[in-house]
Amino acid sequence: MSDTKPTALVISAHSADFVWRCGGAIALHAAKGYNVSVVCLSYGERGESAKLWKNDGCTLEHVKTERKREAENAARALGVHDIEFMDLGDYPLEVGRDAKFKLVDTIRKVQPKFMLSHSFVDNYNTDHSLATRVAIECRMIAQAWGHNPGEKVLGAPQLYLFEPHQTEQMEWKPDLFLDITDVWDKKWAAIQCMEGQEHLWHYYENVAENRANHFRRNSGGQAGGRAAKYAEGFQSVYPRTVDEL
Amino acid sequence: MSDTKPTALVISAHSADFVWRCGGAIALHAAKGYNVSVVCLSYGERGESAKLWKNDGCTLEHVKTERKREAENAARALGVHDIEFMDLGDYPLEVGRDAKFKLVDTIRKVQPKFMLSHSFVDNYNTDHSLATRVAIECRMIAQAWGHNPGEKVLGAPQLYLFEPHQTEQMEWKPDLFLDITDVWDKKWAAIQCMEGQEHLWHYYENVAENRANHFRRNSGGQAGGRAAKYAEGFQSVYPRTVDEL
Amino acid sequence: MSDTKPTALVISAHSADFVWRCGGAIALHAAKGYNVSVVCLSYGERGESAKLWKNDGCTLEHVKTERKREAENAARALGVHDIEFMDLGDYPLEVGRDAKFKLVDTIRKVQPKFMLSHSFVDNYNTDHSLATRVAIECRMIAQAWGHNPGEKVLGAPQLYLFEPHQTEQMEWKPDLFLDITDVWDKKWAAIQCMEGQEHLWHYYENVAENRANHFRRNSGGQAGGRAAKYAEGFQSVYPRTVDEL
Amino acid sequence: MSDTKPTALVISAHSADFVWRCGGAIALHAAKGYNVSVVCLSYGERGESAKLWKNDGCTLEHVKTERKREAENAARALGVHDIEFMDLGDYPLEVGRDAKFKLVDTIRKVQPKFMLSHSFVDNYNTDHSLATRVAIECRMIAQAWGHNPGEKVLGAPQLYLFEPHQTEQMEWKPDLFLDITDVWDKKWAAIQCMEGQEHLWHYYENVAENRANHFRRNSGGQAGGRAAKYAEGFQSVYPRTVDEL
Amino acid sequence: MSDTKPTALVISAHSADFVWRCGGAIALHAAKGYNVSVVCLSYGERGESAKLWKNDGCTLEHVKTERKREAENAARALGVHDIEFMDLGDYPLEVGRDAKFKLVDTIRKVQPKFMLSHSFVDNYNTDHSLATRVAIECRMIAQAWGHNPGEKVLGAPQLYLFEPHQTEQMEWKPDLFLDITDVWDKKWAAIQCMEGQEHLWHYYENVAENRANHFRRNSGGQAGGRAAKYAEGFQSVYPRTVDEL
Amino acid sequence: MSDTKPTALVISAHSADFVWRCGGAIALHAAKGYNVSVVCLSYGERGESAKLWKNDGCTLEHVKTERKREAENAARALGVHDIEFMDLGDYPLEVGRDAKFKLVDTIRKVQPKFMLSHSFVDNYNTDHSLATRVAIECRMIAQAWGHNPGEKVLGAPQLYLFEPHQTEQMEWKPDLFLDITDVWDKKWAAIQCMEGQEHLWHYYENVAENRANHFRRNSGGQAGGRAAKYAEGFQSVYPRTVDEL
């Protein structure tokens, strides 16, 4: 890993979440010279692979293999620097002490300028909200001078919550929109790697188009907002520190 | 007014609010080359001038004159480009249709890159929350192509809510901290212009110091946050539109 | 009005609200030696008098007369010190500048140790939430040294929000329960003065019994809570200032 | 107006809102035999007609005429029973006592089984949230037995809040999704009547497609949810009363 | 279990909760031909049986036996199809992986048209809020095609949160009221089976009467609402999918 | 422990929290004759001792010893009756079944008139919010007649949430302010015992001064509020039960 490149870290409950929810942010920052790392806590093998399970004789290992392949393809399309599969199980995801400490190791190794994870609330999918709680807890542990003393401790990276499905039910409120027009082709390519969830491709194309409308409206609307065609929304967990408003 | 300088606009319910709550932001942006305009909807002559009213024979005109003088002195200390007194009355502040349209004129004239006003809620002081509602309504009118057709319509400037007194009671939650260390001397000088409210000087010095602690904590803490000594906090009303997280 | 007695002030949108919602508090404090004043902003003549309007030939004046009589009877039963009818109209209640200043006069005259009014939200009855906004605004005006200089300004009395109908829809959350067992007979007598709304008598008897259950549960439950039989709940708007937790 | 048909009433701040936000609900209920009435409080002539105002020599009357024509065309396409233009002005919309009472007349005349209006919050467009407050206030007045005694008072119709632009910023949370697949062609035709706002056509097509995804997910998903292709979401203000869960 | 009858599933933290909080819904749906199943996660043997523990020589087994007997009697009175006691312990309730999977088995076996459990928040009784979190998590697992492949996966049943004690403290807001007048005698009989908690009988009678007032008010009030005498309130977790508003 | 003295119990996630956040309340109640007990769930040895860890050769045991010494000194300065160190580890704090039951033993032994712990939310420090959840859960267990039958069960003590760092981010809203002017010298002495966190001394001096401003403002302001110089704020979890408003 280069010492000099800025870095970002995505913590994804299942192996496809990072594609739909922040694939544009990944590709954009990769294009800007960031090393973007992705950690998939599980493959989503039990709960997010209905299409595969409908085939006779399907096994857990087969699903994991397929999901891993899809995720690796998508990561390649987005320019992900590094993708790690923790294989912690899904529906329900369970993250014990050892897994947390392993994730802390990754956070410290990456030293992300910012982190990305799920919404706080998800009453459809408790794996998602658990991933966020774990991200917050592990960020805290990574900041502790007494955890593996001698290692470089973590600073205070922002944690952005990417867009959940059915945003309003998840009490998710974006406070920034990112213009991903220039990398939309990469996100679209990555989306198409998700062969098992083809029913979601067009849905997230619509999301990207409509978030671009929100981008335009908030950057000046008909009085001169930028002509973004695709965008992604994010909710910040922590306040920003700035030199200019 | 220079065509080329960036601009900002503060909408202050009473003539002292802009000093305590965003004096640092004003001085900092003035120093950066912004033209910062301030609109005082009232002088706070009835409700925020207890010290003067305790003197025998005090009149409304006398209080207004004193409050205006203090506010002009403070504005000068902060490098305010322009200060306007709308004299709409206080306790209660009342803002009718004509006053709104006059404020829209100012907004369009200034074409602010960002605006500043009060918190959404204030159960101690309904003038404050009214000022914010008016700011939001007039921002909307200023964006209307059919309002005074031919004038330059407003884009989509951010509206920052500055820090109220007793923040938690006002349901105000800052999402950014601004380092005002370099202009603290100017804010402190402006604060001291508020002769009638000397009991608040030290209070807002404490606020600035403690917000700097929050700045440091959120910019990296003991792992390398910047050594800000004075800061101000703000809550954004609208989402941001960005090219990089 | 006695100089030495503590005082309380109820601001009631319609002339019956004070009975159902805080009749116990009124009777209890009257019994403790308070002078409790009640201001009825309207009679509830149009919207809360269905039973009367179902009679042929009913007129607005007739309804007002009946409602006033009922309210005066109830006030007498509760030991109200003074009841004022502002007759501002209902459905919708409208409170202009003059009416506000008249209410400020009353507040300053009473100098209440605490005030009582409606919940913040009421999507069934906007008169109720308006009454609360007016109470907060007039409390603020009464505190202004520049309003009618020379008069005694108001301190910082607590504003308690009494129990609305369908509490959960009104986002009302009580933070204290008052034991009204000793004065229940008075509240029950006052309730029975509300001849036009007999359908609510038993409802509010149930409320009082169940709030007593909440009183017992929060004062120690089966481990020794007091055997309150009737109680009322209130939500405080402002923080308390204390010498002991 | 037929005595026997069920009815619904839409209260729209500007003359195009009812198309984007509940055009499907209107067409669907019209097809089911409802008489659906629409009240446009204003034409949106100043604030929602940028395209027209960009033409030289444009006048307020011209814009109103165009907006009215578009709205009438859209209403026809949707099967609206009756459309009323109150012409109260926009940016800002202002609704006085007389206008409220006129709206109450309409509500009582229609006796709607349900009503439709805007979200509670809209910090981009205060006309929208005002329309909702007015809808709630007028619903209350229409229920008052003492308002125009002798008229048939209103029962307790549900008020549905239709989908605002940028839902998350408006704190709008849908609690039901309506399948509008069968009438999508009508909604799409009505949308295309909005010639001045062509930039929004595709946006609301995306919304309808994605809300259908939400419909499917909440009606059983891959385990058998109905194959809705287009849907609309609504937030209920009042609780429902039912005989079966 | 009949293939053709509709089904419902109640998940109750302690063995008496289903009686007070949704006994009417159970009896009503049983009467309508539903098979209603109840799962009691614990007996409430340690924390909800004070009366028994006040007797000398009382043992845990004795309390469980008594609580089970009471619950079975109540279930019989309500027409419960099946009651299951998971005996997971109370104060605190603990639900491990095995217990969750066992509950998933039950959910899949029952294939409920709707589910019932506790409020999201309960700072008096953390067993209650845990039961709800578990209900949501197990609903999700039951929907996973990869969990016990070959079994029939769960659709998307609504989860209704039944009424907690001290509703306002629990941030519970009902969005529907169910008329249980026709089965009140059954609920009252079931309540009387709870011999150890006689102090709550009258409390929940009051609740049922007052919720009927809310039913009437929301179904038309004095303008023609149905004369329900007893009702229960529920909060829905998920949006509804409908064909008509 | 004296039978006759009133008691209070502080549950502190790390060994310094009780000093900054409620040292004044402890000293004040000790001075009033309370026996105040403190339970430190951990020493904060890993995450809150950066200064020590920056020294070469620092060990976990050394940090714990130092932290314990500082906490004991502070406790002595405040007049704490008893301080218990549970040594459960920090960053992350983990509280298992045995630890909970041990804490229940302490709660029952102390029989506190009130309890003190952290805010509900802390996205910077999940140990804090865990401590509060544990405090609520153990309070519940201590109330259970079936837990260690024969022991004296707990009544219903208030749980006050003391002031977190960055209050607004923690969604903490104080509902009472306690005047600690008379014991400020003791709190200041205790603060100075925290040698490892000298960067926070002045911060919490500012907090105490500004909370005194809030005390004054809420006890009457310029119209006669008490001249408190130092105060602490608290948020109550449960409603109060009173005899007088």
User: Can you point out the beta strands (E) in E13-113?
Assistant: 35-40, 82-85
Min distance A158 CA to chain B CA atoms (Å): 8
Query: Which of the other chains make 3 or more beta carbon contacts under 8 angstroms with chain B?
Result: A, C, D, F
pLDDT of residue F200: 94
The CA distance from B215 to A180, in Å, is 30
Residues from chain A that touch E100, judged by Cβ atoms under 8 A, are 92
pLDDT of residue D143: 97
Cα C117 from chain centroid (whole Å):
5
DSSP secondary-structure letter at B181?
Answer: G
User: With 0-12 CB in 10 A as exposed, 13-18 as middle and 19+ as buried, what is B231?
Assistant: buried
Nearest 5°: CA angle at B14, between B11 and B17? 70
Residue F205's identity, in one-letter code, is E
Of E165, E168, E206, nearest to C173 by CB-CB distance is E168
pLDDT of residue C81: 98
DSSP secondary-structure letter at E51?
Answer: H
What is the torsional sign of CA E11, E16, E20, E26? positive
Residue with token string 């299409």: A51
| C227-237 pLDDT, tens digit each | 899 999 999 99
Min distance E130 CA to chain A CA atoms (Å): 13
| A90-101 pLDDT, tens digit each | 999 999 999 999
Residues 6+ away with beta carbon under 8 Å from E31: E79, E182, E183
- Give the DSSP letter string of A157-193: -EEEEEPPSSGGGGT----EEEE-GGGHHHHHHHHHH
ipTM: 0.95
Min distance F175 CA to chain B CA atoms (Å): 9
pLDDT of residue F73: 98
**Residue in chain D lying closest to A214 (CA):** D166
pLDDT of residue B149: 96
User: With 0-12 CB in 10 A as exposed, 13-18 as middle and 19+ as buried, what is C109?
Assistant: middle
Best CA proximity match to E14, nearest among E139, E183, E165 = E165
**Residue in chain B lying closest to D64 (CA):** B146
pLDDT confidence bin for D72, thresholds 50/70/90? very high
Reduce the DSSP state of residue A154 to 3 states and report it: coil
Statement: residue C1 has pLDDT above 80: no
pLDDT (average), residues B170-193? 98
Chain E interface includes F150 (CB < 8 A) = no
Residue B9's identity, in one-letter code, is L
pLDDT of residue A151: 96
- Pairing type for strands C82-85 and C35-40 reads parallel
pLDDT of residue E1: 43
Statement: residue C220 has pLDDT above 90: no
Reduce the DSSP state of residue B35 to 3 states and report it: strand
Statement: residue E225 has pLDDT above 90: no
pLDDT of residue E223: 65
Residues 6+ away with beta carbon under 8 Å from B53: B63, C145, C146, C149
Residue A152's identity, in one-letter code, is K
pLDDT (average), residues B51-64? 94
Residues from chain F that touch A99, judged by Cβ atoms under 8 A, are none
CB A19 within 8 A of CB A74: yes
pLDDT of residue C2: 46
Fold of C7-198+232-236: Rossmann fold (3.40.50)
pLDDT of residue D226: 81
Using a threshold of 3 CB pairs under 8 A, tell whether chains F and A touch: yes
| B129-164 pLDDT, tens digit each | 999 999 999 999 999 999 999 999 999 999 999 999
N residues, chain D: 245
pLDDT of residue C196: 83
Cβ–Cβ of F176/C242 closer than 8 Å? yes
Statement: residue F35 has pLDDT above 90: yes
CB F154 within 8 A of CB F60: no
The CA distance from A41 to A38, in Å, is 10
| D183-221 pLDDT, tens digit each | 999 999 999 999 888 989 999 999 999 999 999 999 987
Residues from chain E that touch A169, judged by Cβ atoms under 8 A, are 238-239
pLDDT (average), residues D65-92? 98
Min distance F170 CA to chain C CA atoms (Å): 18
pLDDT of residue E171: 97
What end-to-end distance do the CA atoms of chain B give, in Å? 34
Statement: residue F23 has pLDDT above 60: yes
Long-range CB contacts (within 8 A, 24+) of D56-63: D58/B149, D60/B146, D63/B146
**A15-47: b (≥16 Cβ within 10 Å) or e:** bbbbbbbbbbbbbbbbeeebbbbbbbbbbbbbb
Of A53, A63, A126, nearest to E137 by CB-CB distance is A126
The CA distance from F71 to F191, in Å, is 10
Of F174, F203, F222, nearest to B50 by CB-CB distance is F222
pLDDT (average), residues E73-100? 98
Cβ–Cβ of D207/A207 closer than 8 Å? no
**How many CB atoms are closer than 10 A to CB C198?**
11
pLDDT of residue F196: 83
Residue F45's identity, in one-letter code, is E
| D105-160 pLDDT, tens digit each | 999 999 999 999 999 999 999 999 999 999 999 999 999 999 999 999 999 999 99
pLDDT of residue C221: 73
Min distance D62 CA to chain B CA atoms (Å): 11
Cα D21 from chain centroid (whole Å):
6
pLDDT (average), residues E152-161? 97
Residues 6+ away with beta carbon under 8 Å from E117: E10, E11, E12, E131, E132, E135, E159, E160, E161, E162
Cβ–Cβ of B146/D92 closer than 8 Å? no
Statement: residue D223 has pLDDT above 70: no
| A114-157 pLDDT, tens digit each | 999 999 999 999 999 999 999 999 999 999 999 999 999 999 99
Structure tokens of C101? Answer: 């200043």
| F111-127 pLDDT, tens digit each | 999 999 999 999 999 99
| B208-236 pLDDT, tens digit each | 999 999 999 999 876 667 889 999 999 99
Residues from chain B that touch C160, judged by Cβ atoms under 8 A, are none
pLDDT confidence bin for F1, thresholds 50/70/90? very low
| C33-54 pLDDT, tens digit each | 999 999 999 999 999 999 999 9
pLDDT of residue B187: 98
**Residue in chain F lying closest to A101 (CA):** F92
Best CA proximity match to C116, nearest among C203, C204, C232, C245 = C232
Mutate to test the interface with C, among D136, D145, D151, D175 (most CBs of C within 10 A): D145
pLDDT confidence bin for B2, thresholds 50/70/90? very low
Domains of chain C, by residue range, sit at: 7-198+232-236
pLDDT of residue B244: 96
Residue with token string 């109720």: C128
Residue E109's identity, in one-letter code, is K
pLDDT of residue A206: 98
Residue with token string 């012409």: D87
Residue C109's identity, in one-letter code, is K
CB E46 within 8 A of CB F101: no
Best CA proximity match to F26, nearest among F229, F184, F209 = F184
Min distance E238 CA to chain A CA atoms (Å): 8
Structure tokens of C91? Answer: 């459905």
Chain A interface includes D169 (CB < 8 A) = yes
B177 forms beta bridges with A241, B233
The CA distance from B27 to B38, in Å, is 12
User: With 0-12 CB in 10 A as exposed, 13-18 as middle and 19+ as buried, what is B54?
Assistant: exposed
The larger pLDDT score, comparing residue E224 to residue E116, is at E116
pLDDT (average), residues E152-175? 97
**How many CB atoms are closer than 10 A to CB C232?**
29
Reduce the DSSP state of residue B89 to 3 states and report it: coil
Cβ–Cβ of B47/C145 closer than 8 Å? yes
E241 forms beta bridges with D177
pLDDT (average), residues A56-83? 97
The CA distance from A218 to C35, in Å, is 55
Mean of per-residue pLDDT scores for chain E: 96
pLDDT of residue A102: 98
pLDDT of residue A197: 87
Cβ–Cβ of D178/E243 closer than 8 Å? yes
Chain E interface includes D224 (CB < 8 A) = yes
Reduce the DSSP state of residue C26 to 3 states and report it: helix
Reduce the DSSP state of residue E63 to 3 states and report it: helix
Mean of per-residue pLDDT scores for chain D: 96
| E185-218 pLDDT, tens digit each | 999 999 999 988 898 999 999 999 999 999 999 9
- Pairing type for strands A35-40 and A82-85 reads parallel
Statement: residue E95 has pLDDT above 90: yes
Element (H, E) at B158: strand B158-162
The CA distance from B111 to B133, in Å, is 19
SS3 of chain F: the string is CCCCCCEEEEEECCCCHHHHHHHHHHHHHHHCCCEEEEEECCCCCCCCCHHHHCCCCCCHHHHHHHHHHHHHHHHHHHCCCEEEECCCCCCCCCCCHHHHHHHHHHHHHHCCCEEEECCCCCCCCHHHHHHHHHHHHHHHHHCCCCCCECECCCCCCEEEEECCCCHHHHCCCCCEEEECHHHHHHHHHHHHHCHHHHHHHHHHHHHHHHHHHHHHHHCCHHHCCCCCCCEEEEEECCCEEECCC
